[in-house]
Amino acid sequence: MSLPAFIDLTVEEQATELCSYFKALGASNIDDEQSSEGDLASIVAVADLCFKEGNEGEAEGILNSIVSMLVLLPNEKAEPLITTFCLKLVKPPSSKLGQICLRVLSVLFHGLDITSSTRFTVYHTLVQVAGQVEQIKSVFTDLEKMRAQLAPCKPNNEQMQKLLRILHEALLNSRESELASKVMVELLSTYTTENASQAREEAQRCIVASLADPNTFLLDHLLTLQPVKVLEGALLHDLLTIFVTEKLTAYIKFYEEKKDFVEGLGLKHEQNLRKMRILTFMQLAENAVELPFDTLEKQLQLTEDQVEEFVLQVLKTKLVRARMDQLNRKVLVSSTMHRTFGKQHWQQLRELLTSWRTHLRQVKDSMLTIVNEQAELLAQQS
């Protein structure tokens, strides 16, 4: 990769120029008699001096010049210097300088060998800086891409947990609640039975955030996470189970008995009612192709004039495909998402796919027979 340079000079000459630059800014740690590697260590140690007021215009070029030297070092020599360099850039004093740091760190990240362990350090710093200047989407867009980027440098489980924590915080600060939820689930999935209790508080926050999110309805995957299993027997786990498997009446009973607990979590009762009504509707639609309005009024505790508006709200979520027959006061269901997807549903899916494969094979065989018959007929005519 072609990297920007401070000036068109050799590495040694470049180091000399940078030493002079930082000495002019007041750096007292630079010795004129140092080796070029010693110069680079001294330069990295004072890299944040270019953030001084009045030097913003030069900062990006200076920092990129340091990067162009760092990427030339062998990994064992580069690692401590890159770690120090990242520490100098991790807390930019202004949003403008934060943007500069993001660009410089991105150049460094892509300039390093993909197997270099220091790439993880740089990415971790990128996430921290992006979170501060609310530019996290410029660094992170989805978990799959992040895994692919970091896999060659082989971060360990503890490193990934630390990264996912700061990534989750950065996404929340940038109001990316859906991505933040996915990252938190990813974090909780890194824990095993042996260490799941360490993530108890994070599991609680994940559950509350998922329940509070007005666009999150499918929650059964949370119950499979080890840190969530640790909460079995706790009221929060009971509440989650209601949202995963029970109907509206079960939630109302829980709320009436544990009102202070629910409100203490910061959850809004009216929003909970809306979500539980939609989930109950989904469950009813799993087992019926027609849902009379009278049934919906009773099961969802709605008045007669609220039913049609509610059904329209459900259809907007795209969790259920249906149409209303106002004349006959019923809902005709085409399909619905399952609230839980267990072994039974996997078996049904397997049987459906097997049936499709069999039918496709039969169609293929029939087409081949027709083609062969036509070929024979043409041969006879000629």
Q: Answer yes or no: is 37 within a domain.
A: yes
pLDDT digits (tens, 9 = 90+) for 167-206: 999 998 888 888 999 999 999 999 999 999 999 999 999 9
Angle at 359 between CA 355 and CA 361, to 5 degrees: 115
Q: What is the pLDDT of residue 4?
A: 44
Residues of the chain with pLDDT under 50: 1-6, 35, 345-346, 349
Kindly state whether residue 166 falls inside one of the protein's structural domains.
no
- Does residue 325 lie within any of the structural domains? no
Structural domain includes residue 363: yes
Angle between helices 56-70 and 11-24 (to 10 degrees): 140
The residue among 156, 149, 216 whose CA lies nearest residue 184 is 216
- Whether 246 is in a domain gets the answer no
Beta strands in 222-371 (DSSP E): 290-292, 320-325, 330-336
pLDDT of residue 356: 64
Angle between helices 36-45 and 11-24 (to 10 degrees): 40
pLDDT at position 74: 86
- Predicted local confidence at residue 82, as pLDDT: 95
Q: What is the pLDDT of residue 346?
A: 42
Which residues contact residue 232 at a Cβ distance below 8 angstroms, ignoring those fewer than 6 apart? none
pLDDT at 339: 84
CA distance linking residue 81 with residue 118, whole number of Å: 10
Angle between helices 95-111 and 118-132 (to 10 degrees): 160
Q: How far apart are CA 255 and CA 5, in angstroms?
A: 64
Within-domain flag for 233: no
Residue 160: which residues within 8 A CB-CB, separation 6 or more?
150, 190
Domain count, the chain: 2
For residues 273-309, one letter each, b for 16 or more C-beta atoms within 10 angstroms of the residue's C-beta and e for the rest, the string is bebbbbbbbbbbbeeeeebebeebbebbebeeeebee
Q: Are strands 320-325 and 330-336 parallel, antiparallel or unpaired?
A: antiparallel
Contacts of 102 (CB under 8 A, 6+ apart): 126, 129, 130, 133, 135, 138, 139
68 in a domain, yes or no?
A: yes
| Enclosing domain of residue 358 | 354-381
Domain assignment present for residue 103? The answer is yes
Tell me how far apart the alpha carbons of residues 167 and 94 are, in angstroms, rounded to a whole number: 20
